[in-house]
Structure 1
Amino acid sequence: MPFLDRLQRWADERPHHPAVVIAGRRLTWAQLRDGAEARLGATGPITALCQENSVDFALQYAAAVAGERQCAVLDPSWPAGLQADIVAAVRAHAVPGQVPDAAADLLADGQPGSTFLIGLTSGTTSLPKAFTRSRRSWQESFEASIEFFGLRADDVTLAPGPLAASLNLYALSECLYAGSEFQTLASFDVGDIHAAITYDRVTRLVLVPTMLRMLSERGLAGGVDAAGIRTIICAGSKLDARTLQAARRWAPNATIFEYYGASELSFVSGAGLPAGRPPEVGGTGIGRPFPGVEVRILDDAGAQVPDDGAGNICVRSGLVSNGYLWGDDGEALRSFGDWYTVGDQGFLRDGELHILGRRADMILTAGKNVYPHEVELALSALPGVCAAVAAGMPDDIRGQRVVAGVVPAHGGLTATSLRAGLEAILPRDKRPLQYFLLTELPATDRGKVSRTLLLDWIAGHDPRVKNLGA
C-alpha cells in the first residue's frame, strides 16, 4: 500500500486535524478522505494529472491511485504540445489494472505489486522517459525515509516546490502515510515561505539546494526566525559549503540532511548534519546507505571495485522502480544481475558513498580522470566564492585541461588566491589550470547549470566572463 489505507486510519483517528495545506487552503484528514472518495466515480483506470499546486491536486491524486488505478503526473509548465504527446504515450503504453466492480468506489490501496505511478524523467522539449513504480516499492521507501529522516506525526512539513516534481510529490505522499501535516504554496515565493515558517508551526523543510540558500541568506538578512525548524532535507545536488553555513546560521536547531537518489532508484544514501556540527569542507561524501539499501561500486563488466576505486554506483533494494514504460535505451537504467545503476560514478570509503558525477561529464586530462562536480564543490568552499562551475577545455598536450568559472561573493578574487585555497582540499592533478570570473552561472533556459555553455562563453569572449589567468 502506498498511503490510502493509512489515510483512512488518520481520518478515523483525528478527522478534524489538518492534513494538507496548499496555497492557504486547508483540508482536514476527513475532508481529504471524503473529497477524494467523491471523485472515484469520475476517475478512470489511468489518469494524466497536470495541475498547478492546489488542494484539488491532492484530492485528484489520492483518487487517481485508488484500487488498481495508475497516475502519471505532468508538469503544467511544459509546452501544450509536449503534454499532449505524453498523454498519448501514456494511453498507448500503460496497461490498466483490474478494478473489481465492488472496489471501484473504495478509497483503498490496490495489490502491493501493482503499478500505481508513471514517473517522467524530465521536462525537456523531447518526450521524457517514463518509468513505473509499484505500491510496494513506495511503501518500503516510506518506511526507510521515515526512519532515516525521523519524520514524526507532530511535524509540519513544508515542500515549497511544484507537486509535479518527484521530490515534492513524494513528500506529500510520505506525510499522508505517516499521518503528518503537509504544506506547500501556489508557487515559490521567499516571503510566503518565511511567513509560513513564522506563523504555521513549520518544523520540516523539503527542498532543493538553491531554494535553501535563498531562504537562508534572505532569512538572515530579514531577521526571519527559523529556530523552530528541526529538519531540513535537500536533494538534487550535494550542498556546497556556503549554503550549509548559511542554513546552519539561519536554522540553528535543525539537522540538515542531504541524500543521493534517482527517480528510478529511489533513495540510495544520505547523511544528516546535526545542529552544532561544522560541515566538511569540499567533501564528496554523501553518507551511508538508507535502511534496506545495499550499495556497491561495479565496473562496466559488473565486477566489484575495491574501496576508493571509482566506478558505477549500483544499488540493490526493494525501492527500485519496475523499469521504463517507454524510452528505454538500455543505458539510462542498467543492471548487473539484481544490482541497478543510472550511470552515476562514485566510490566507497569506509562504508560512506562518495559521488563524482556522470561519466559523460568526466574530464580526461594528461591520462587522469577528473570529475567537475568534485572541483566545483572544492571551489565553492573557498572564502569569497559564491558559486563555481568547472569544465574540460581541449588541450593539444593534455587532451583536455580543467578550467573553472567562479561567481564572486565579493571583490578581490584572483587566480593566485583560488590556487592557494585549493591546495589543502583538492589534489594537484584535479586543480584548474585556468580561472575565469563570471557575473552569473552559465545556465540553460530551464535553469540548469551548463558546462558546455561556459566553454562557449570563453570561446566567444562573452562579456559575462573575465579571464583571471592561470
Structure 2
Amino acid sequence: MPFLDRIQRWADDRPHDTAVVVAGRRLSWAELRDSATAAVSGAKAVTVLAESNSVDFAVRFAAAVAGERQCAVLDPTWPAQLQQEIRQRLDGSARPGDVAPDDALADGPPEATFLVGLTSGTTSVPKAFTRSRQSWRKSFDASIEFFGLRQDDVTLAPGPLAASLNLYALAECLYAGSEFQTLEMFDVGDVHAAITHDGVTRLVLVPTMLRLLSERGLTGCVDAAGVRTIICAGSKLDARTLEAARRWAPNATIFEYYGASELSFVSGAGLPAGELDAGGTGIGRAFPGVEVRILDDGGTRLPDGEAGNICVRSGMVSNGYLWGDDGEALRSFDGWFTVGDQGYLAEDGLHILGRRADMILTSGKNVYPHEVELALASVPGVAAAIAAGMPDDLRGQRVVAGVVPAHGGISANQLKAGLENILARDKRPLQYFALSELPTTDRGKVSRNMLLEWISSHDQRVRPLGH
C-alpha cells in the first residue's frame, strides 16, 4: 500500500485505458505499470524528487515508494542550497528498512513510512514529517467517499505536483483507477482547452486559480457544463469567486475543506449546483473516519461555541517529524492531535478561526485575522483582503486591513458599511489601506508581517484609504 497494488490491478483489468496525462503526453495503465517497474531497480532507499510536472514524475514517484522505499518531494523552484541541505538531512535522519530484493513494483508494509513531507516553518528549512502507507490508504478511502470520485471521472489538478494538494490528487486517482491530468505549468488557456477537449469532469485547485478560470472562462465563453466536481483547498472561497464559478460551471458540486499536511483531512462541505453560500468561518462536518473536538491548552474538552484548539483523532494523522518540531507544531492530548489551529464547533459543524500565532489582542479582545478577511472579502468591490495587528500604545494592538479593490476603487466608508451587519464591532479594522497587490513571500504565501512592514515603510504598494 498505498496505491501500487491498485496500479497492478488496473493494468491487468484495463491495460489500454488512460492513467496519467501531462501536457498532452499520455500513459496507459499498462505503460505506467511497466515504466514504473523498470525504474524500481534504480530507486534508492530514500528518493528525493525535485522535478517539474511530467509523466516521468508519476513513474518515478511510483517506483520511489516500492517495497519499503521512501520518497521526499521537493519544490524544484527552491534554492539549490536549500535543496542540498534537505538532502543531507534526509541522508542522516530517514532510516528505512531493507528494500525489496526482487525490485518488484509492490507495496511495503502498511505501517511503514513511504513519504517524507515538507511544510513551511519558522526557520529557513521546512519542517519534515513522515506518513505511513496505511495513513494514506485510509485518506484515499475517506476522500473518495466524501468527494464522490468515480472511475469515469477525469481529474485535472493544474498546479505543481510538488505541492501536497496535487501530489495527493495524483495518488488518489491512481488508487481509484481514475484518469489524472495536469499541466507542465498553470496556464488559464491550457486548462480551458483541457476542459473543452479532454472531457475533464473534476478540478482540484486553489481558490485563486478557480477565480481566474471562472472569470476568464465566462468572458471567453468556455463551456464548463461537463465539470461535475470542483475541490478547493488552501483558503475559504469568497463570494465573488463562488458566484463566478457557479455561473461558469453550473452543474458542479463545489467542495471546500479544512485539513493539514500533518493531520490529513479534517472537515469539509460540498455546495450542490445552484447553491451560493459563501463567507463565514464554517468549514463543514468531519470527514469519514475522523473525530473532531475542541480542547483548551490543558486538554480539557470545551463546549460547543467556545473557541480553542481544533483537535483530531483519526487513522490518517502523520507519524510526526523528522526535524523541525518545536513541540507546538503537532501536539497530542491523549491521542487527540492539533497543529494549533483555533476554532469552535456549532450545530452546522466546525468553524475555523485561524492560527493562534496570528491572533490579534486588542483592548483585551481576541480577534482572528482570518475572520476579518472573510468578512471583508464578502463586501462588494473587494477583490482580496488581508488583516493584521498593528502595535498600539492604548489597545496593545489595533486591527488594520489591506484590500485589493475589484474595480473602480473603494472607500473606507464603503468598507465600514459593508461590515456593519456581518462582523462584530470590536473586530472591525480601525484603519484601511488600498493595496496594488497582496503581500506575499518568495514562496507565494500571503504575509501579514509584510503588510505591517509595507504600512510602516510607506511602501508604494499601499496607501491609506480615506472616507
TM-score (norm 1): 0.97
Q: Secondary structure at the residue paired with 1:142?
A: helix
1:72 is aligned to: 72
CA distance in 2 between counterparts of 1:42 and 1:404 reads 53
**Backbone CA RMSD of aligned residues:** 1.4
Say which of 358, 380, 403 aligns to 1:406: 403
Deviation at 1:122, TM superposition (A): 3.0
Q: Spell out, residue by residue over 1:397-417, the C-alpha distance to the aligned partner (whole angstroms, 9 max, x if none).
A: 211111111111122522222
**Offset, 1:324:** 0.6
Render the CA deviation track for 1:324-382: whole Å, top value 9, x for unaligned. 11222111011101000000111111151111111111111111100011001001101
From 393, 410, 424, the counterpart of 1:396: 393
Contact 1:75/1:123 (8 A) holds in 2: no
* Aligned-residue offset at 1:99: 3.0
User: Which residue number corresponds to residue 450 of structure 1?
Assistant: 447
Partner residue of 2:222? 224
State the match for 2:433 in structure 1: 436
Of the candidates 205, 210, 215, which is equivalent to residue 203 of structure 2? 205
Rounded to whole Å, the distance in 2 between the matches of 1:308 and 1:377 is 19
C-alpha spacing 1:85/1:195, structure 2 compared with 1 (3 Å): same
Query: What CA distance in whole angstroms lies between the structure 2 residues aligned with 1:39 and 1:446?
Result: 31
1:54 CA displacement: 0.8
Corresponding position of 2:4: 4
Instruction: Select the residue among 308, 315, 319 that pairs with 2:312.
Output: 315
Structure 1 distance, partners of 2:100, 2:242, is 51
Contact 1:82 1:125 in 2 (8 A): no
Residues 31-74 of structure 1: CA distance to partner in whole angstroms, max 9, x if unpaired?
A: 00011001111112221112111111111111111111111111
Q: What is the distance in 1 between the residues matched to 2:412 and 2:44?
A: 61
Shift of 1:125: 7.7
Structure 1 pair 444–99 and aligned structure 2 pair: CA distance change class (3 A) = closer
Q: Does structure 1 residue 248 correspond to structure 2 residue 278? A: no
Q: Match for 2:441: what amino acid? A: T
Q: Which runs of 5+ in 2 are unaligned?
A: none
2:2–2:137 Cα contact (<8 Å) kept: yes
- Secondary structure in 2 matching 1:406: strand
Q: How big is each residue's C-alpha offset from its partner over 1:266-294, in whole Å with a ceiling of 9 and x where there is no partner? A: 000000011001213x3000110000000
Residue identity opposite 1:357 in structure 2: G
Looking at structure 2, the residues matched to 374 and 49 of structure 1 have their Cα atoms a distance apart, in angstroms, of: 37
Q: What are the within-5 Å matches in structure 2 for residues 382-393 of structure 1?
A: 382-393=379-390
Moved more, 36-45 or 112-121: 36-45
The equivalent residue for 2:33 is: 33
Mapped to 2, the partners of 1:468 and 1:100 lie a distance apart of: 64
After TM superposition, give the deviation of residue 8 of structure 1 in Å: 0.7
- 1:434–1:469: 8 Å Cα contact kept in structure 2? no
User: How do 1:321-336 residues align onto structure 2 when only pairs under 5 Å count?
Assistant: 321-336=318-333
Mapped partners of 2:453, 2:232: distance in 1: 31
Distance 1:123 1:73, change over 3 A: farther
- Contact preservation (8 Å) 2:282, 2:348: no
* TM-aligned CA deviation for residue 123 of structure 1: 8.8
- The separation in 2 between residues aligned to 1:22 and 1:236, in whole angstroms, is 23
Identity of aligned residues (%): 77
Give the distance between the partners of 1:116 and 1:437, measured in 2 at CA.
46
The 1-side partners of 2:434 and 2:191 are apart by: 32
SS class of match (2:41)? helix
SS of aligned partner of 1:42:
coil
Moved more, 395-404 or 352-361: 395-404
Displacement of 1:446 in angstroms is 2.5
1:338 aligns with 2:335: yes
Q: Distance in 2 between matches of 1:463 and 1:118?
A: 41
Q: Distance in 2 between matches of 1:325 and 1:123?
A: 13
Q: Give the deviation of 1:100 after TM superposition.
A: 4.4
Q: How does 1:269-308 map to 2 (within 5 A)?
A: 269-280=267-278, 282-308=279-305
Task: Give the C-alpha shift of residue 444 in structure 1.
Answer: 2.1
The answer on 1:147 being equivalent to 2:145 is yes
- In structure 1, what is the Cα distance between the partners aligned to 2:326 and 2:453? 29
CA deviation after TM superposition for structure 1 residue 465, in Å: 2.2
In the aligned structure 1, how far is the partner of 2:242 from the partner of 2:115?
Answer: 33
Change (3 A) 1:230 1:124: farther
TM-score of the two chains, using structure 2 as the length reference: 0.98
Go from structure 1 to structure 2 and tell me whether the alpha carbon gap of 1:229 and 1:83 turns closer, same or farther (over 3 Å shift): same
Contact persistence 1:157–1:181 (CA under 8 A): yes
1:50 aligns with 2:50: yes
> Matches of 1:160 and 1:319 in 2, distance apart?
25
Residue 464 of structure 1 and its aligned partner are, at CA, apart by 2.4
Measure, in 2, the Cα distance between the counterparts of 1:97 and 1:22.
33
Deviations 1:116-140 (A, max 9, x none): 1111113998221111111100000
Quick one: distance in 2 between partners of 1:143 and 1:14?
21
- Partner SS state of residue 39, structure 1: helix
Distance 1:26 1:297 in 2: 46
Query: 2:344 corresponds to which residue?
Result: 347
Aligned residues: 467
